[in-house]
Amino acid sequence: MKFKQLVMCISILSSGHAWANVTEYCPNPSDIKEEAPGVYIASIVSGDGEWYGVSQKGRGPVGEFDVAVFKSHTDVEGSTVIGEILRCGYLLQKGDAVDMRFQGKEKEKETLVSIDIKDPWTQWYSQYYCESKEPRACKFNELIRPAKR
């Protein structure tokens, strides 16, 4: 009986419908580096993608986190909703702002993520906002499609 359960579990996890979850966060301001004038990058937690942003007017170091915006693609199931991170916004130390875009593991494809819609995310129509200044408060799970074999 246990052998059948093991075989069934392996087949489900290796199927094209299984997704792996990687917990990610809006980057800490100190982790965002100005790569070129007005161009900002930061590593993602899994290390297999990046945060990327361009400031139209501002230059210099990132000052503080402002807001994360998530757009829902599906209805809420329990306390989880699937969609995409539109941006994590930051204020620059010398004025202006920069919006960081999440580019996960599958950069060439739309990066789907899920959030737990409990605090600190608050809903406004089909979007959710996180304005918590606590490190790693605006967390989400990147949904990664396993490679087809």
Q: In the predicted model, is pLDDT for residue 84 greater than 70? A: yes
Token look-up 């959030």 returns 115
Q: In the predicted model, is pLDDT for residue 18 greater than 70? A: no
What is the rounded CA–CA span in Å between residue 117 and residue 38? 32
**pLDDT confidence of residue 106:** 59
Q: In the predicted model, is pLDDT for residue 47 greater than 50? A: yes
What is the rounded CA–CA span in Å between residue 142 and residue 104? 7
56: left (phi over 0), alpha (psi -120 to 50) or beta: alpha
Q: Residue 140, Cβ neighbours under 10 Å: how many?
A: 24
Distances (CA, A) of 130 to 58, 61, 117, 125: 23, 22, 10, 14
State percent of the chain over pLDDT 70: 79
Helix then strand then coil, % of the chain, to nearest 5: 10, 45, 45
Indicate the domain borders of the chain.
20-144
pTM flag (> 0.85): no
Q: What are phi and psi of 12, to 5 degrees?
A: -65, -45
